[in-house]
């Protein structure tokens, strides 16, 4: 019988990695942060530019300054209807987490892209977003593999929050904040995750509109995911 040990391991890890929004203050074991970043270092990037840097924030006063900046520029949501802005959802319980890892984009590395661009146009932006997302996801998967939990925190890249956080940390000009990973141990159990069915999203060879969801189905699904997501946010 064929064994799929690596595949099974990867699938389990993909299911195990979840977004936690309430953390215990318990410390992350010695050496784990380096192990996590070691995995992200192997992520794919456009033309292998590896345009990233990792800032590990452990000091309480620095974490508190970041939290204060986010409190100022990422206020909790008051409107939970499907037209609301998900990035305005309450995201406060991460404040107890012992570690933040901020992923930076180093825009100088665009010199390694075809044509050696000197400007940040849509193409450069798109390659950077995908490259950084790859490294970021590797961070989260690595954390899950070590029995830790994490939160993908995107409000850090909002212009006002970004400006303040970069001055707290001292991030130099050619770099910007991609997003922040909150790392630690969960303080509350997670709700099971609902995902779309495999058969509904896989298409082979020739396909037309009849093979995809209708506008109504997409809207109905969006309402469901919104409600699921908001209930997760509002628990935190």
Ligand X SMILES: Cc1cc2nc3c(=O)[nH]c(=O)nc-3n(C[C@H](O)[C@H](O)[C@H](O)COP(=O)(O)O)c2cc1C
Among 49, 134, 154, 176, binds ligand X (CB under 6 A): 154
Region binding ligand X by CB under 6 A among candidate stretches 6-14, 18-26, 56-64, 110-118 = 18-26
What does 74-132 look like in DSSP terms, one character per residue? Answer: SPPPS--STTS-GGGS---GGGG-SEEEEEEEEGGGGGGSTT--SS--HHHHHHHHHHH
Give how many residues touch ligand X by CB under 6 A: 12
- Contact partners, residue 225, CB within 8 Å, separation at least 6: 194
Among 131, 149, 151, 157, binds ligand X (CB under 6 A): 151
Binding mask 172-211 for ligand X (x = CB under 6 A): ---------------------x------------------
What does 121-183 look like in DSSP terms, one character per residue? Answer: -HHHHHHHHHHHHHHHHHHHHHHHHTT-EEEEE-GGGSHHHHHHHHHHHT--TTEEEEEEEEE
Among 9, 10, 27, 229, binds ligand X (CB under 6 A): 229
Measured from the CB atom, the residue of 107 and 228 that comes closer to ligand X is: 228
User: What tokens does 209 get?
Assistant: 């509109």
Among 32, 54, 73, 152, binds ligand X (CB under 6 A): 152
Region binding ligand X by CB under 6 A among candidate stretches 4-12, 56-64, 153-161, 164-172 = 153-161
Measured from the CB atom, the residue of 49 and 93 that comes closer to ligand X is: 93
Does residue 212 sit in helix, strand or coil? coil
Under the criterion CB under 6 A, does residue 18 sit at the interface with ligand X? yes
Measured from the CB atom, the residue of 112 and 134 that comes closer to ligand X is: 134
- Contact partners, residue 180, CB within 8 Å, separation at least 6: 66, 100, 101, 102, 103, 153, 154, 156
Among 45, 91, 149, 157, binds ligand X (CB under 6 A): 91
The Cα–Cα gap between 98 and 50 comes to 27
Question: Binding residues for ligand X, per CB under 6 A?
Answer: 18-19, 21, 87, 91, 151-155, 193, 229
């Amino acid at each position: 019988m064929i064994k799929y040990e690596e595949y099974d391991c990867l699938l389990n890890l993909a299911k195990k990695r979840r977004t936690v929004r309430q953390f215990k203050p318990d410390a992350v074991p010695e050496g784990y942060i380096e192990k996590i970043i070691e995995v992200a270092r192997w992520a794919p990037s456009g033309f292998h530019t590896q345009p990233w840097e990792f800032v590990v924030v452990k000091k309480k006063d620095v974490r508190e300054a970041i939290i204060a900046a986010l409190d100022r520029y990422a206020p909790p949501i008051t409107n939970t209807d499907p037209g609301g802005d998900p990035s305005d959802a309450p995201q406060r319980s991460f404040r107890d987490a012992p570690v933040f890892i901020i992923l930076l984009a180093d825009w100088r590395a665009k010199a390694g892209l075809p044509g050696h661009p000197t400007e940040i146009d849509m193409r450069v932006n798109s390659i950077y977003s995908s490259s950084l997302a790859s490294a970021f996801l590797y961070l989260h998967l690595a954390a899950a593999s070590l029995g830790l939990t994490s939160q993908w925190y995107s409000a850090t890249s909002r212009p006002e929050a970004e400006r303040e956080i970069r001055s707290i940390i001292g991030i130099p000009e050619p770099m910007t904040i991609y997003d922040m990973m909150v790392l630690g141990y969960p303080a509350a159990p997670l709700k099971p995750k609902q995902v779309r069915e495999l058969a509904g999203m896989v298409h082979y060879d020739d396909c037309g509109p009849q093979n995809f969801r209708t506008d109504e189905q997409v809207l109905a699904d969006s309402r469901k995911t919104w409600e699921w997501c908001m209930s997760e946010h509002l628990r935190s």
